[in-house]
Structure 1
Amino acid sequence: MINLRTALITKLTLQSVGNKLREEKNVYAGDLFHLSEKEEEELQPFFITPFKNQSEYYQFTHYTQDINFNVLYTLCKDIFDEDKDFVEFSDKVLDHLLERSNHPQIKKGEVFIALLEGIDVGQESKVKGIGIFKLENKNKFLRFRESDIVEMAIQKGYRLKSSLDKGCVILNVQKESGYLVLTHDDAQVESEYWKKSFLDVDYIKDDAYQTKNYIHLLSDFSQQYILEEKGKKVQTEFIGNCLQVFNENETISQELLEKELLDNYGVTEEFKNYKKEYSETSALQFSEIFDVSTVALNREKRKIKTDIKLDTHIQIKLDINSPESSEDFMEQGYDEEKKMFYYKVYYNSEL
């Protein structure tokens, strides 16, 4: 587990990046930006908080398959391999960011670039990292000044309690393609520009990647096939039982999924066909066996909705952690007299 809370900001530059399409210019640092002890205490959490619960890691890529053609990778390599001038490095990063800021919707903004040291990645020695943090969306705030009277001014700025607009941390941890990369995009609108064009990174296909995408696959299968064939109640039970299988097993395999989940619903062959088509369409690579990532599992569980919404303005919320409850204590049927479907729920007492 990566712990960025131990990171120290040893070098920092502050610059501004424009939009190339609108012919906005960069404003370069010129020199290192020196923080007071108090300023570092305030800024360090602001920089690292967006990455503290990340379970998905990335690595640099390039369409030629030669990682040395990735601009940001080669710039970071120079810093990690040699003690090169950090201000010059920051200027080159800013130039690269401007080159990739070539869409009219990409906003100009202030950019902090930091050299981080003392990052705990679970190894014997701590590692260095490079942080690139872009702030785009200023908010209005009131500023007061007192002399003989109280004066007020409306200004624009950033709240340190709000989230970064965009950021990344490149860790000096060797992977198949360069370094370990964490990335953050608060808006999720321009992620193609930040993640694909500027960083040019892709997922590391580890256990977290497999856990997340297998749950997406099974959830999508339940929505597209089980819901249509067997109804909302069974679909909800299916995804609940799916998560229970992930909860109760450290390792997931195709054989285990068939035995513990798919065979019980008689959909093994249908799932195999769906998985093949899903993998080809989404360009995802699924392993036949992998270890469950608890962090990724808990994150995906929070995203899954188990509400049954009815056209009579009634909603039934099922507990995703207890799929057996809907099987044992809930019935679905059709009332011939009213010509309506119904759910019958059994209980001992109201809570």
Structure 2
Amino acid sequence: MITSFEASLNQLSVHKVGNKAQDEYMVLSDAPLSVEDEMLKNLLMTYFLKPFEKVNEVYRFTHATNDLALNEIYHFAKKCFESGSNFHEISQQITRHLYDVSSHPKIKAGEVYVVYFDAVQIEGELHKALGIFKSETKETYLKVYPDAGGFSLSYEQEAINIQKLDKGCLIINTEAEEGYKVVVIDQTNKTQDAAVYWKDDFLKLKIRNDSFNQTHNVLGLYKNFVTEKIDEEFEISKPDKIDLLNKSMKYFKEKEKFDFEEFSDEVIGNDVAAKSFKSMMNNYEQEFETPLSNGFDISNQAVKKQATNYKTVLKLDKNFHVYIHGDRQLLEQGFDDAKGKKYITLFYDKES
């Protein structure tokens, strides 16, 4: 999604925020940081931008009143893009806002980096971008160096691993009226209440409802429908469930566009089940305020991502795992009265 081989670091300001609820301090630097060393500049570019190369979801800024101007970070980003001359002052305002929302007791203190980039590529186009990053996790590193015909060891504590960006966002200077294109990383507090403060409290984002998210959401919903919901209306065996999952994944891998009626006929194959799945989609739309179209372009990236969640393994006690990838008709189930156990018969042409 993001590529940075043409990108360059234009301006950088560094500050520090503590946890406001714990009465920790905020420290604002007086001036931007000048980075002349090319090696250090390359390391910073790796630290800031490389993690976004695997990020597919694109967000937009939002606000409860639907007035984007009231979203603090949107407001600051727009000022920065309109006039880069007040960059450092804007970086201080951004840091103050982050400090104000850092009220959960589990939020860690850390350095805040506000960066102005040139030529960041997203979806094949080059744009200026504003990056906001926070380093919370510190590590200890060993140093080995030559000394008097041998080697000596030392260490450095409270150091930052440039391969592990804790939190970050890139605000891309395009589609401003729609809330910009924003990509986000949050590697800490993933399972805690503190996790929401970065994306929800600080940035106030909503997912961009593009083909990636449409594909990702429908595949995720269908998986839940087959594995959980469908049992409420039908008696269906585990191999038949796996067959439904296989058919859906085959559909999304082979088609260029999703069509609900076509999907219902070719994959679900039952009017009652199709109506139940449609009802599930409608409920999702209302609960998450995310429209799901009856027709959209299929995103191959989203299919690949969801494919890892589609399990096609039939587990039989602790003795066997049967991987079902193809024709369901080549598998038969039964019950052996003499042994008092269920059995499965598999038909095939050759071993490999």
Alignment TM-score, normalising by the size of structure 2: 0.90
Are the counterparts in 2 of residues 144 and 150 from structure 1 also a CA contact under 8 Å?
yes
Q: Distance in 1 between matches of 2:156 and 2:55?
A: 36
Shift of 1:345: 2.3
Please name the residue that 2:323 is paired with.
317
Query: Which residue identity is paired with 1:107?
Result: K
Q: Distance in 2 between matches of 1:278 and 1:332?
A: 35
- State the Cα deviation string for residues 107-126 of structure 1 (Å, max 9, x = none): 111222110001234577x3
Q: Distance in 2 between matches of 1:175 and 1:259?
A: 41
Are the counterparts in 2 of residues 5 and 48 from structure 1 also a CA contact under 8 Å?
no
The answer to whether structure 1 residue 240 and structure 2 residue 242 are counterparts is no
Query: Which residue identity is paired with 1:150?
Result: S
Please name the residue that 1:114 is paired with.
115
Query: Which residue identity is paired with 2:138?
Result: K
Query: Which residue identity is paired with 2:15?
Result: Q
The answer to whether structure 1 residue 153 and structure 2 residue 159 are counterparts is no
Are the counterparts in 2 of residues 169 and 182 from structure 1 also a CA contact under 8 Å?
yes
Please name the residue that 1:215 is paired with.
219
Query: Which residue identity is paired with 1:160?
Result: I
Which deviates more, 145-154 or 213-222? Answer: 145-154
RMSD of aligned Cα (Å): 2.2
Q: 1:274 to 1:178 in 2, by over 3 A?
A: closer
Are the counterparts in 1 of residues 209 and 290 from structure 2 also a CA contact under 8 Å?
no
Q: 1:123 to 1:344 in 2, by over 3 A?
A: closer
Please name the residue that 1:141 is paired with.
141
Q: Distance in 2 between matches of 1:255 and 1:143?
A: 63
Are the counterparts in 2 of residues 17 and 94 from structure 1 also a CA contact under 8 Å?
yes
Shift of 1:8: 0.7
Shift of 1:75: 0.5
Are the counterparts in 2 of residues 254 and 289 from structure 1 also a CA contact under 8 Å?
yes
Query: Which residue identity is paired with 1:343?
Result: I
Query: Which residue identity is paired with 1:17?
Result: V
Q: Distance in 1 between matches of 2:23 and 2:267?
A: 57
Shift of 1:349: 4.3
- Written as runs of structure 1 = structure 2, the 5 A alignment for 1:201-212 is 201-212=205-216
Are the counterparts in 2 of residues 117 and 127 from structure 1 also a CA contact under 8 Å?
yes
Please name the residue that 1:24 is paired with.
24
Which deviates more, 30-39 or 303-312? Answer: 303-312
- Written as runs of structure 1 = structure 2, the 5 A alignment for 1:200-279 is 200-226=204-230, 229-263=235-269, 267-279=273-285
- State the Cα deviation string for residues 142-171 of structure 1 (Å, max 9, x = none): 23465557243362322223x211100000
Are the counterparts in 2 of residues 78 and 84 from structure 1 also a CA contact under 8 Å?
no
Query: Please, which runs of 5 or more residues in structure 2 have no aligned partner?
Result: none
Alignment TM-score, normalising by the size of structure 1: 0.90
Are the counterparts in 2 of residues 226 and 235 from structure 1 also a CA contact under 8 Å?
no
Are the counterparts in 1 of residues 97 and 202 from structure 2 also a CA contact under 8 Å?
yes
Please name the residue that 1:186 is paired with.
187
Q: 1:34 to 1:333 in 2, by over 3 A?
A: farther
Shift of 1:19: 0.6
Are the counterparts in 2 of residues 59 and 175 from structure 1 also a CA contact under 8 Å?
no
Are the counterparts in 1 of residues 335 and 342 from structure 2 also a CA contact under 8 Å?
yes
Q: Distance in 1 between matches of 2:346 and 2:50?
A: 43
Shift of 1:183: 0.6
Which deviates more, 138-147 or 44-53? Answer: 138-147
Shift of 1:305: 2.1
Q: Distance in 2 between matches of 1:75 and 1:154?
A: 36
- State the Cα deviation string for residues 88-146 of structure 1 (Å, max 9, x = none): 1111111111111100011111222110001234577x321011111111122223465
Please name the residue that 1:6 is paired with.
6
The answer to whether structure 1 residue 47 and structure 2 residue 48 are counterparts is yes
Identity of aligned residues (%): 30
Q: Distance in 1 between matches of 2:32 and 2:199?
A: 26
The answer to whether structure 1 residue 77 and structure 2 residue 78 are counterparts is yes
Q: Distance in 2 between matches of 1:158 and 1:20?
A: 23
